[in-house]
Chain A
Amino acid sequence: MTLITALPASPVVLSQKNNTMSAQILILSQSHLEGSTDHVCQWLSHLRIPFLRLNGEDLCQLQRLTDLPANENIAAVWYRRKIHSFPAQYQLKKADFNTEYTLKRFLIDEFNGLHSYLFHLIDRHKWLNDPFTEDSLNKLQVLALARKCSIHTPFTEVVTTKKEIESLLNTYPEIIVKPISECIFLEDAAGGQYKMLTKTIHHANLHLVPENFFPSLVQEKVEKKFEIRAFYLNGEWHAMAIFSQNNQKTREDFRNYDTERPNRTVPYQLPATLEAKLHQLMKLLHFRTGSVDLMVDKQGNYYFLEINPEGQFGMVSYPCNYYLEKKLAILLGESIQELEPATL
C-alpha cells in the first residue's frame, strides 16, 4: 500500500493497482501431469476467483527477482508441487554418469534456493500449509507426533543388522521394510522401470537379508482389513476406504495398482475420536490440508501410517464424489474475502 501512495502514478494506474491488489490466490505447481492443480484452477475460474498459477518450470524463464509474486498481491498460497522437470536444454550433451549426478544435484539445489525464497517473500500465515514444515517433513518425527496425540502407530524401528530383524521376528510374525524418506523409481538402460514399494520380511525369506545393511525403517506388519486415505481440509476429514485384500498384487501396498482388478474405493466416515486426534496432529504440524494414510486391522483397530501434505486428493475426490477440488477452490476464495476488508 505504501508503495502505491508514494508513486506519482496516474489515477488510472492507481485504480488498476487497487483492483488487483489483494485479490489473488497463488498456486505453486508444475506444468505437466498435475490433474489436481488443473481441476482446482478450473473451479477457481468458474467461481471467478482470481488466481496465479506459478509452475516451477516458469521460474526457468524468470527475467529478474521482481518478477516473483509480491506479498501484497497474494491472499493465500497453495503449495502443491515444486517442478516436474527442468527444461531439456539443461542436460549434458553427452551422457556421463558421474558428472551428470553431481550437476543434477547442483541444479536441484540451485532451483530450490530460488524456489524456497518464495517461502520468505510471502507471509507465513498466508500459506495453506506452513512451507518450512512441509519441506522438512520427517516420517519418524510425524510418527512420534502421532503417538503424542495418542494415535496408534505400527511398531516402528530403524535397524542395520539381520540379527536385529531376527529378534523382531520373534515378536512380530512378519515385518515390512519401507524407506525413511520417499520411494524412488529406477530405470535401466533397456528402459525397464522399477518402483520401490513396501516389502515383507518373514522367517522364510530372512536368508535374503544381508548381515549388515544401510539404516532401514522396519515396521510390524499389520494384517489389514482395508486401508484408509483421508484428506484433511481446514478442519474437516474426507476419508476413503481402500479394499485391496482380495487382490494378491496389492496385499502389501495399494500402490501396486492392478488395472484389471482395481482396489475398491468407497466413502468412509472416520470415528469422531480419531478425527479429533488427527486434527490435533495437523495443528501441531501447522497444516490446513494434507492426506493421511491409515490401516484398519482384522479386529477393527486403526493404525496411522503417514502424512502426505501435498495432498493426493484426486484419488479420493473422484471415487467418493466429494468434490474436494471445488471445496479447496472455495476455501482459497474465502481467504480473499477475509483479506479484503483489511486492505480497503
Chain B
Amino acid sequence: MEYFNLYANCQLVTGANMSLLCDLQMRRYYHIPNDTAEVITYLQQHSIDECIAYYGEDNREAITGYIDFLLSRELGFTDTQHLPELTPLSLSWDRFGDITNVIIEYNEEIDYNSAFFRELFNQQVHALEIRCYQHLPLEKLRSLLEQFNGTTLKFIKLVLPFHLTLELASLDQLVKKYPRVKSILVHTSPVDKMERIFAESVPVIFYKGSINSCLACGEIRTNYFTTNIELFTESQHHNTCLNRKLSIDLQGNIKNCPSLPESYGHVSTANLQEVLDNKDFHKYDNIRKDDIKVCKDCEFRHVCTDCRAYREDPNDLYSRPLKCGYDPYTNNWENWSQLPMKQQAIACYGLTALIN
C-alpha cells in the first residue's frame, strides 16, 4: 500500500469556495479548489488506493494528478505508511516582548528621546517603521537613528518623501552607519523604481504616489500576503494587524495604529507600563481572522494582514477590512473603492478625496 505524507509545515486553509495550501517553510501558497483540498485531507487518513476507491475510478486520474502536483512541489512524499513519528506542527505563538512592532509618524516637535521611548525600546521591540510625511534633513534622521544603537531592535523601515538631497550614495552611507535600517520607501518620487544599496541588501523603493497621512493605509492586496510560520501561527490566536503593536501618531498620541481613533496617552507624559496595563489598549489583540465576518470564510485569512482601522461597517468591530476587494464566495478581486456597498463607510472615514 502506498501512502501520501504531507509535510507538517504545509497547512491547508479552507475557504467558502477555494482553499489555500500554505507552504510555511518555502513561504509560498497554492490556491486550490476545495475539492482538491478535500482529497488531500482524505489522503492524510487513507492510502492512495483507498482514496481512489472512495472517490471512484472516474477520479483516478484527477487524484494521481493531485499527488503528482504535491510531489513535484515537494510538499510531501509517498511511503509504505503514514509515518506516525511525523507529528503535526504546533500552532502555538509567543514573542519575547510586550510590544514587537512600532510605527512612528515623525514630527520634529516631538522628543523621541523621552522616558517613554527609552522604556519602549528597552523591551525587545523587533521592528520599527518611521513614517515621514515632510522632508527630514539627513542630519536629523541620523540623530534620530542614533538612539536605537544598543537596543535589541532588529529592523527599521524608513518612509521618506522624495528630496533632491536623498541621493542613493547618501542613503548608502546612512544604512552602513545604521545597519538596523533594512528597508526604505521614498514617496512622492518623480519615478516608480526600485534600487538596492549596501551591497544589494537594502531595498530602496521609489514610489510616485504621495504618503502624507495614514488614510492610505489598510489596503488588502495579494502582494501584502505573507506565508510564513510567524504570521500563520499568530493569526490562529491574535489579530495580525494590531497584536503587540504600538504606534505614535503625528501629534505624539500613543495608539494601536495611527489610523485608529483611540489614544492611550501622550508620549511626553505617559508611562509605558500604564499603557500596557490599560485593558482598552488590548481590545483588538484577540480579534482573529476566524472571528471576522466574511474573512472567516476566506482562504487567505492566515496569510493576510487585516485592518481594524477601516472597516466595511464602521460600527462593527468584527466587520471585514473596508479596503479589501476580494469576495471569497465568488473568488473575484474587485476594486473595493468602487463597490456600492462600501461607499457609506468610505464617506464615514473621510476617504472620498483620497480615492478620487
Contacts and interface: CB of A to CB of B under 8 A. Distances in A.
Interface of A: 38-39, 42-43, 45-47, 241, 243, 246, 261-262, 264-271, 318-323, 326
Given A268-B85, A319-B25, A246 B74 contact: yes
Contact of A267 (B88, B96, B123, B152): B88
B8 A42 contact: no
Contact of B25 (A47, A265, A268, A271): A265
B90 A322 contact: yes
A266 B74 contact: no
A323 B92 contact: yes
Contacts of A268: 85-87
A241 B16 CA distance: 34
A267 B87 contact: yes
A318 B229 contact: yes
Nearest to A247: B74
B247 to A, nearest CB: 21
Given A266-B8, A268-B85, A321 B92 contact: yes
Contacts of B7: 243, 264, 266
Nearest to B97: A46
Contact of A264 (B74, B96, B233): B74
B86 A321 contact: no
Contacts, number: 67
B229 A267 contact: no
Interface string B209-235: 000000000000000000001000100
B124 interface: yes
Interface residues of B, number: 25
A269 B123 CA distance: 35
A224 to B, nearest CB: 13
Contacts of A38: 152
B110 interface: no
Contacts of B86: 241, 266-268
Contact of B233 (A42, A269, A321): A321
A269 B229 contact: no
B276 to A, nearest CB: 13
11 contacts: A45-B96, A243-B77, A262-B26, A266-B7, A266-B9, A267-B8, A268-B86, A320-B89, A321-B90, A321-B233, A323-B94
B91 interface: yes
The A contact surface, by secondary structure, is mixed
Contacts of B152: 38, 42, 45
A144 B28 CA distance: 44
Name the residue among A264, A265, A322, A323 with the largest chain B CB count within 10 angstroms. Answer: A264
Interface string B12-38: 000000000000011000000000000
Interface of B: 7-9, 25-26, 74, 77, 84-92, 94, 96-98, 123-124, 152, 229, 233
Contacts of A262: 25-26
A159 B86 CA distance: 38
Contacts of B124: 42, 45-46
Contacts of A47: 96
B213 to A, nearest CB: 34
Nearest to A41: B152
Nearest to A39: B96
A319 B84 CA distance: 19
Nearest first, the 4 closest Cβ-Cβ pairs linking A and B are A46-B96, A42-B96, A266-B8, A43-B96
Nearest to B122: A45
Contacts of B85: 241, 268-271
A42 B25 CA distance: 24
A43 B94 CA distance: 10
A246 B71 CA distance: 10
A261 B87 CA distance: 23
Nearest to A266: B8
B22 to A, nearest CB: 14
A241 B92 CA distance: 20
Contacts of A265: 9, 25
Nearest to A42: B96
Nearest to B80: A300
A39 B77 CA distance: 33
A262 B123 CA distance: 34
A269 B9 CA distance: 15
Given A42-B97, A268-B85, A320-B90, 13 more contacts: A39-B96, A43-B96, A46-B98, A241-B86, A246-B74, A264-B74, A265-B9, A267-B8, A267-B89, A269-B84, A321-B90, A321-B92, A323-B92
A43 B124 CA distance: 9
A159 to B, nearest CB: 35
A298 to B, nearest CB: 10
Contacts of B92: 321, 323
A51 to B, nearest CB: 13
B25 A267 contact: no
A143 to B, nearest CB: 23
Given A243-B77, A267-B90, A271-B85, A326 B96 contact: yes
A243 B91 CA distance: 21
A269 B94 contact: no
Contacts of A269: 84-85, 87
A266 B97 contact: no
A39 B126 CA distance: 12
B9 A319 contact: yes
A241 B84 CA distance: 12
Nearest to A261: B74
A159 B139 CA distance: 65
B1 to A, nearest CB: 15
Contacts of B74: 246, 261, 264
Given A267-B8, A326-B96, A321 B91 contact: yes
Nearest to B26: A262
A75 B335 CA distance: 61
